[in-house]
Amino acid sequence: MKKQQILEIMNSNNGVITNKKALQFGISRTALYRLKEQGVICSISRGVYSLKDEVPDMLVIIQNRCKKGTYSHESALYFHELTDRTPSNHVMTVPASYNTTSLKDLPVTFRYVKSELIALGKKKMKTSQGNEVYVYDLERTICDIIRNKDDMNINEVNSALRQYANSGSAKYSLLMIYAHKLGMETKVREVMGVLF
CATH 1.10.10 correct for 3-56: yes
When pLDDT is averaged across residues 13-17 and rounded to a whole number, the result is 79
Q: How many Cβ atoms from other residues are within 10 Å of residue 5's Cβ?
A: 13
- Residue spans per domain, the chain: 3-56, 60-195
Confidence of residue 196 (pLDDT cuts 50, 70, 90): low
The DSSP string of 74-110 is HHHHHHTTS--PPPSSEEEEEETT---GGGTTSSEEE
Q: How far apart are the first and last CA of the chain?
A: 59
Q: How far is CA 170 from the centre of its chain?
A: 22
More confident residue, 123 or 16: 123
Residues 6+ apart with CB under 8 A from 91: 71, 72, 73, 74, 75, 76, 108, 109, 110, 111
Lowest mean pLDDT among 12-21, 31-40, 57-66, 170-179: 12-21
Confidence of residue 195 (pLDDT cuts 50, 70, 90): low
pLDDT tens track for 71-122: 999 999 999 999 988 888 899 999 999 999 988 888 999 999 999 999 999 9
- Torsion from C-alpha of 138, 142, 148, 154, nearest 10 degrees: 110
For residue 1, the model assigns a pLDDT of 66
For residue 185, the model assigns a pLDDT of 95
For residue 44, the model assigns a pLDDT of 80
Contact by Cβ (8 Å): 94, 100: yes
Q: How far is CA 118 from the centre of its chain?
A: 13
